[in-house]
Amino acid sequence: MTAFPTPFTFSQSSLQDYADCPRRFQLRCINQLSWPAVDAEPVVENERRQIEGQLFHRLVQQYYLGLPSENLSLMANTPNLERWWQNFTNTDMKGLRDLSGIYPELTLSAPIGNHRLVAKYDLAAVQNGQVTIYDWKTYARRPRDEWMAARWQTRVYRALLVQAGAHLNSGNSFEPEQIEMVYWYADYPSEPTRFKYDADQFKRDWSAIEKVVHEISSAEDFPLTEDEKMCRYCVYRSYCNRGTQAGQMDAAEGETESETTFDINFEQIGEIEF
Ligand code: SF4
């Protein structure tokens, strides 16, 4: 086993890979192995939905950057995009555009041990001393709130905002109680998931992140998961000899959405002091 690359840039998706399957973390995040298997059936529909999900994120980003809604509507030109865009324009999140403290596609980074932790937020909105993290999801099925609560994304995004978000708050770190995270589901527009935050949760989260980063960076090996259900939606199935048939997209709980909606060039992200 070669030495763990240092410094390594961790993200919510690499931590989630490790939680789902240590071998997947190794193949994807260390070896950066491209493997040509599909992650969910039906293939064409899944691929189309992933591309549409990325386009939807770009539409919303451009909306918050100030592009006229009428122009963006013209680009919502498939049934899924049209429906998601319509759902979005019917929400009161539209009004966030008028706030002065609005940060679409915000990237934050903080040191963690000898490594770095990075997150790219769809939107952060600061208003009346509170900050709300918004994350758009184009999942085919609305996941359970408990499932979302346990995702590394939910823990990393809120904790990293405490650690590295002071520049959004006149130079003062946000208190955990000032933070809320909202997952908005484009196909379930009136059923968002909202997660508040508090100091105890923050303490637990940051300590869990430090612990797992230490565990990963000192691991001797990265075993295959014992939970073979994870393999059904994994592109490395044939590589790992864990079957050739992908799971059904409509049976998955969230997993089929591409987590890397926007490419992050980690090396170009300046470290943010905290
Ligand atoms: S196929 Fe299964 S064992 Fe292999 S990387 Fe994917 S989840 Fe892990």
Per DSSP, the residues of 96-126 read GGG-SEEEEEEEEEEEETTEEEEEEEEEEEE
Ligand 1, closest atom to CA 228? Answer: 2
Per-residue pLDDT of the chain (274 residues; tens, 9 = 90+): 678 999 999 999 999 999 999 999 999 999 999 877 666 667 678 778 889 999 999 999 999 999 999 999 999 999 999 999 999 999 988 889 888 899 999 999 999 999 999 999 999 999 999 999 999 999 989 999 999 999 999 999 999 999 999 999 999 999 999 999 999 999 999 999 999 999 999 999 999 999 999 999 999 999 999 999 899 888 898 899 998 776 666 666 554 444 433 333 333 333 333 2
pTM of the model: 0.89
What is the C-alpha to C-alpha distance for residues 127 and 122, in angstroms, rounded to an integer? Answer: 17
What is the C-alpha to C-alpha distance for residues 168 and 82, in angstroms, rounded to an integer? Answer: 33
What is the C-alpha to C-alpha distance for residues 262 and 18, in angstroms, rounded to an integer? Answer: 21
Q: What is the pLDDT of residue 262?
A: 34
Residue 24: both structure tokens together: 């997947």
Going by C-beta distance under 8 Å and a sequence separation of 6 or more, which residues neighbour residue 175?
162, 199
Hey, whose CA ends up nearest to atom 7 of ligand 1?
Answer: 231
Q: What is the pLDDT of residue 249?
A: 66
Hey, whose CA ends up nearest to atom 1 of ligand 1?
Answer: 237
What is the C-alpha to C-alpha distance for residues 146 and 17, in angstroms, rounded to an integer? Answer: 18
CA of 179 to the centre of ligand 1 (A): 35
